[in-house]
Amino acid sequence: MSMPAQVPQIASPSSSAKKPLYEGSTQYKNWRFSPEKLTRIRASLNAAAVSVIRNTFEADEPGSSSNVLFLTADEEHLLVKLYISKISQLCGHFRFPEEVEATAVSYMKRFYLKNTVMDWHPKNVMLTALFLATKTTNNPISLETYTSHIPKTIPSDVLDLEFLVAQSLGFEFAVWHAHRALWGIWLDLQSLPDTPPDQSQDIYDTATMHVRASRLTDAELIYSPSQIALACMSLASPAFASQWAGSKIPSLADTLQPTIETIKSLITQAGHPPDVESVRTVDRRLKLCKNPEKVVGSKAYLAKKAEEERKAEEKRSRKADEIRKAMENGDPFGDELSWQEKEEKIKEIVDEDDND
């Protein structure tokens, strides 16, 4: 499945000369990919993780990685998909609104375009993404209340990953959702002639079910929310979708149709949770190939922590020496730096932050 270089956006003719708000969003700029690009990203992350973990195993015990069956990119994606499906269950338990669920799903997908499950298990990432979504959508819940209602979960399971998740998102928390676009289409349908009022609610409910199914696919990483919403409306009622498109975007209706059909196929084929037994097998294997540097108490974990502490101590000592020398020279702030010295100092600070 490939995406055209320029997929038509859904916009009314009157606003065609005006740039749609969605195209000014960080989601449009930073979180839209072609299917091929998604495959390459996941394969690259997987290969890099396998290489690092294999080297870590070998450094600890030469030859120990030869019998390890590492996860493939597809197996990682399957495991992530299972935990994405669990977000809906948790939201039902806490009675979170749809906005929280949809946002948490988006955070989860975006996180694993920057990280792998062999470094960070999807369970805790899922719990953290959901907790973060309650805050960014203004539906807060206390951490203690949240974790107390989830078995075998303590506050640190969420807090320890919260900054990592936020950082992996690029601190871009706003998400444009298909369920909101669908609501707009449904409202438009109420004003169109020949729309049976007794049928529209049932059709909207069915389309909403398809929107929820689309969250288990890559649709939101490839297409715009309005395109997904129209595809879901078409799945619920092709006639209503055609009526809306003909009324609102007559010049784009024919051009957009192939994209809508592709989205519909994606939702019907992939919009369901994976087989639990298949994922359970993957999860068991993950325990054997998880990055030992992330396993608390392992030799690799302790060695990495010791190295991080050594570098931090060196940094503190270096800064303390600079302050001491400045005090000895009678000026605690030191002499004024030349432009060249300032540039070198800034570069040194940036390099230190990158190494941290």
> In CATH, what number is assigned to the domain containing residue 205?
1.10.472.10
Count structural domains, the chain: 2
Using CA atoms, how far apart are residues 138 and 159, in angstroms rounded to an integer?
18
71 and 146 together in one domain? yes
Q: What is the pLDDT of residue 4?
A: 40
pLDDT along the chain (356 residues), means of 10: 44 57 90 96 95 85 80 95 95 95 97 95 95 96 94 92 96 96 90 70 92 96 95 92 84 84 96 91 90 60 57 71 67 60 64 57
Identity of the amino acid at 5: A
Q: Is 333 a member of any domain? A: no
145 and 287 together in one domain? yes
Q: Is 19 a member of any domain? A: no
Using CA atoms, how far apart are residues 6 and 233, in angstroms rounded to an integer?
22
198 and 163 together in one domain? no
283 and 264 together in one domain? no
Q: What is the pLDDT of residue 283?
A: 92
The predicted model scores a pTM of: 0.80
Distance of CA 20 to the CA centre of its chain: 23
Q: Is 335 a member of any domain? A: no
Q: What is the pLDDT of residue 239?
A: 87
96 and 34 together in one domain? yes
Burial class (CB in 10 A: 0-12, 13-18, 19+), 320: exposed
Query: Which sign, positive or negative, has the C-alpha torsion 336, 341, 347, 352?
Result: negative
Contact 259, 7 (CB under 8 A): yes
The token pair that represents 175 in the structure block:
């998400």
Which of 235, 270, 305 is where one domain is finished?
A: 270
219 and 282 together in one domain? no
Residues 6+ apart with CB under 8 A from 135: none
3 state SS of 308: helix
Burial class (CB in 10 A: 0-12, 13-18, 19+), 183: middle
Q: Is 139 a member of any domain? A: yes
Using CA atoms, how far apart are residues 22 and 186, in angstroms rounded to an integer?
19
Buried b (16+ CB within 10 A) or exposed e, 160-179: ebeebbbebbeeebebbbbb
Contact 159, 144 (CB under 8 A): no
32 and 61 together in one domain? yes
Q: Is 96 a member of any domain? A: yes
Q: What is the pLDDT of residue 6?
A: 38
Q: Is 137 a member of any domain? A: yes
Q: What is the pLDDT of residue 252?
A: 78
Q: What is the pLDDT of residue 345?
A: 63
Q: Is 345 a member of any domain? A: no
pLDDT in tens, 37-95: 999 999 999 999 999 989 888 887 787 777 888 999 999 999 999 999 999 999 999 99
Q: Would you mind telling me the total number of residues written for the chain in this entry? A: 356
Using CA atoms, how far apart are residues 175 and 166, in angstroms rounded to an integer?
13
Provide the residue range defining the domain that includes 232: 177-270
CB atoms within 10 A of CB 307: 10
High-pLDDT (> 70) share of the chain, % = 78
Which of 226, 255, 270 is where one domain is finished?
A: 270
149 and 225 together in one domain? no
Using CA atoms, how far apart are residues 121 and 126, in angstroms rounded to an integer?
9
134 and 278 together in one domain? yes
Which of 270, 305, 334 is where one domain is finished?
A: 270
Q: Is 307 a member of any domain? A: no
137 and 257 together in one domain? no
106 and 247 together in one domain? no
100 and 131 together in one domain? yes
